[in-house]
Amino acid sequence: MERKYLLGALEYTEKLLSLGEKTVLDIQANSIACFLESDFVGKEGVSVNTDNGDVWLRMKRLRETTAPKSHPMFDGWVSGASNNPEKPPQLNSERLVRLSKEEISELIAADRLSGDDVMKPLKDDATGKLDALLRLSSFPEFESSWQNYLSTHWNKWAELERPRRHSIALYSKLYQLHQRIVSLGEDNPIELVWGIGVALWQRETVRVCSHIIEQPVESDLEVDGTIVLRPRAVSPSINLKPFHALEIEGSEAVHKETSSILAQVSETESGLTPFEPATFHRILQTCASRLAAKGRFYPDDKKDPSDRTLPTAGPDLVITDTWLIFARTRTADIRRDDLKRLIQKVEREA
């Protein structure tokens, strides 16, 4: 009986301390930064679950590569940057050049140039040369050579460079976050969190996109610029705040049950890891079945297990087994952390 009263008092105190916190329903829309599992998995320079599981994510610093150069004969004709893999460079439809009278005569005779496209320079040219407007349509073999360059050289480079540029952009965002965290030192108001299991639910005008399990992580920058994310020495916790805020019946009971399961997992030798489904599937399945009458555990619906993209939020609750990484303002109260750990200990000893 005394344990029951103690547990009630602890839970009540923890709830009072949490009243001032803002509940985030959509982590993608309301976090400092949010990265999905699909942003990382299979991308160049990214490796997960390394160093015997001590490192959850490792991302190398990559460099852009340069597009293969085209033949000098295309100099002056090219429009656009050749080093952008998303948009192939094109040839201008026309080009103004300065030629000798002999060169102009040869082009006119070869039907490559019209006399109407020949004009005197605005300033007299001491050499007697004239301005000629060359039209690409008059040089079909020239355009053919250009298309051959694109298909055999530029396109192959772009195909490899596009995903590399994606990795570089992703690294840049992570790097900026890391620098921001480091620069603020011990008074750091920002923290990185690794969320496991994503709940998606469109309830009228409210969209829920939130993680079920959260594990604070720390970032590190190695000598070669590699960014490393590893779990902090803080116990993982269940995050059902969006469901509490929406007053979903039974969410408090589900929170207690899943917190108990998570505590058991955390005490095992391997502990919680986003790379071993056995450590978290039961928690996610419990949430899917208990938080909504039509709730679904998304892996049961997927035809392709390797597809790690998020489904679209719909009228029925869906919980995925994917993970995400996000940055938020650190609002956790040390007293609340202590209370949570004490509550879990009392529940296990009950």
145 has pLDDT over 60: yes
* Stronger pLDDT, 299 or 57, i.e. the higher one: 57
Distance (Å, whole) CA 316 – CA 117: 67
The mean pLDDT value of the chain amounts to 88
Distance (Å, whole) CA 103 – CA 92: 21
In 3D, which of 74, 143, 73, 137 has the Cα closest to residue 111? Answer: 137
Distances (CA, A) of 36 to 209, 234, 310: 12, 22, 8
**pLDDT tens per residue, range 237-280:** 999 999 999 999 999 999 999 999 999 999 888 899 999 999 99
Distance (Å, whole) CA 142 – CA 107: 14
**pLDDT tens per residue, range 90-138:** 999 999 988 888 888 888 888 988 888 888 887 776 777 888 899 999 9
Torsion of CA 232, 63, 28, 209, to 10 degrees: -70
pLDDT tier, 183 (very low <50, low <70, confident <90, very high otherwise): confident
Count each helix (H run) and each strand (E run) in the chain, helices first.
Answer: 9, 15
What's the confidence (pLDDT) of residue 7?
Answer: 55
Helix (H, G, I), strand (E, B) or coil at 104: helix
Decide if 215 contacts 191 (C-beta within 8 A).
no
β-bridge partners, 113:
none
β-bridge partners, 40:
none
Distance (Å, whole) CA 44 – CA 27: 26
**pLDDT tens per residue, range 198-222:** 999 999 889 999 999 999 999 999 9
Decide if 330 contacts 40 (C-beta within 8 A).
no
Specify the amino acid at residue 199. A
Distances (CA, A) of 264 to 279, 290, 336: 10, 20, 20
Q: Up-side HSE of residue 350: CA atoms within 13 Å toward CB? A: 16
What's the confidence (pLDDT) of residue 347?
Answer: 62
